[in-house]
Amino acid sequence: MLGIKTTFNEVEMNVKAGIEVMSVDALNYVLELEGEICSLDRTFTKNLRNTVYKLKERTSKEIYKEECKCGDSNRRHSKYVYDWAS
């Protein structure tokens, strides 16, 4: 099972309250709000690529990988972008 299907408002409420949320639901929440997430994000650094794969599989969302220019690191890294228009 990839995760419990929860409503967007329930995930938002849990994230704000500090209650632990499944990583797939938390990533979905971040992408819905921000539209993108850097691969160096400390929340998902350990398994962001795997979590993105699970989210794409579960929701069939269009999530693309692009070069990130956020300035957090001198090293080349990526960001994941949610294509909300598709």
Q: What is the CATH number of the domain that holds 43?
A: 1.10.10
Inter-residue contact 84 to 35 (CB < 8 Å): yes
In a domain, 5, yes or no: no
59 lies in some domain: yes
In a domain, 31, yes or no: yes
Instruction: Give the model confidence (pLDDT) of 5-45 as tens digits.
Output: 555 566 666 666 666 668 888 888 889 889 999 988 887 75
Residues near 83 by Cβ (< 8 Å), separated by ≥ 6? 61, 62, 63, 64
Residue 84 confidence (pLDDT) above 60: yes
Instruction: Characterize 62-73 residue by residue with b for buried, 16 or more Cβ atoms within 10 angstroms of its Cβ, and e for exposed.
Output: ebeeeebeeeee
Distance (Å, whole) CA 68 – CA 79: 5
Domain limits at 66?
20-82
Domain count, the chain: 1
